[in-house]
Amino acid sequence: MRLEAVELRLVRLPLVRPFRSSSGTEETREAVLVRVETPTGEGWGECAASEEPRYSPEFNGAAWMVLRDLFAPRLLDAADVEAAGVGGLLAPWKGHRMAKAAIELAVLDAALRDEGVPLASYLGGTRASVVAGVAVGIPGSLGELLELVGEYVAAGYRRVKLKVEPGWDLEPVRAVRQAFGPDLLLQVDANGAYVLDDARHLQQLDEHGLLLLEQPLDEEDLVGHAELAARLTTPICLDEPIRSADGARAALALGACSIVNVKAGRVGGYLEARRVHDVCAAAGVPVWCGGMLETGIGRAANLALASLPGFTLPADLSATDRYFREDVTRRFVLEDGEIAVPSGPGTGVEVVRAALDSLTVRQEVLGR
């Protein structure tokens, strides 16, 4: 398949409500979208980076630059581009996994649309729908937290994830557990806000029957995570350190976690995400699909990934109205606690051009 053009768009979507974690507060979702044009059609991808490098070293300004100046020209110059070969073509450049994932997804989407194959089928998905969880940011008060959780539980979300940080952890977890009972699937995410010396404090989470404790320590501290895991009964889940299948294998060998959060952007694409899934499945380790406040393009691809058999825990893939009033694709809805996996070719969603144009703040086309 030959690429005739690559289009970059920066879109800005206002969030329904601000989302705060230990990494900072987001009031809008700014995303780089990638469209590739082929002789027979087009494909879309989305970069999971944010406006600023808080969650990861990657951010939209840098992603735009490497996509425009390095990745797109390389693929446009190639005589033949296959999705499985995108990683090799971009291998000379280190890092920038989220930008690589975006353009790989666009190529994969275009190829699968030509073939009439859904992304979920291509990846090996086995489910028609995915059990949906919801992530709750750090609010202004306990009262507001309980109101939000109540709203999401009433909507049908089957798992609730609370963002925590020092000073906002034991009390909110206790309050939610008391208010909603022991049957609510409840987990917490620290985004690396603690240190190993906090182990005794974190041990107090064990009494609340949490599904998991996600990323309590710094992403570089795998040894610390292994030591912490030995001191807690709550399972440790890793997020930020898992950047490849080899990284997942190393973390599991160290005993740094017993659950893995898989994010395609963070590991460099959906093909590598499938390899992470396979490593964990072989080790008998459950995985779940994390979200990055994606637009409908990224959400559709994440649902396809989360349909794989090893994704046995609820995903951070909520309905569209959890985040946005307007999106660049059709809206995803929650039905009986689950969201349907798109069944059309490629990602299975179509871009709504009017919405896309209204949300676009920057645009550039290469190759024409």
* Residue numbers annotated as active site: 163, 263
Contact 212/237 with Cβ under 8 angstroms? yes
How many CA atoms within 13 Å lie on the side-chain side of 123? 36
Spatial separation of the C-alpha atoms in residues 94 and 338, rounded to whole Å: 37
Q: What torsion do the CA atoms of 241, 131, 154, 15 make, to the nearest 10 degrees?
A: 50
- Across-strand partners of 160? 134, 186
Contact 93/322 with Cβ under 8 angstroms? no
Spatial separation of the C-alpha atoms in residues 289 and 128, rounded to whole Å: 15
DSSP secondary structure of 74-121: HHHH-S---HHHHHHHHTTS---HHHHHHHHHHHHHHHHHHHT-BHHH
Non-local CB neighbours of 247 within 8 Å, separated by 6+ positions: 241, 267
Q: Which of 307, 196, 321 is nearest to 262 (CA)?
A: 307
| DSSP-based helix, strand, coil % in the chain, nearest 5 | 40, 25, 35
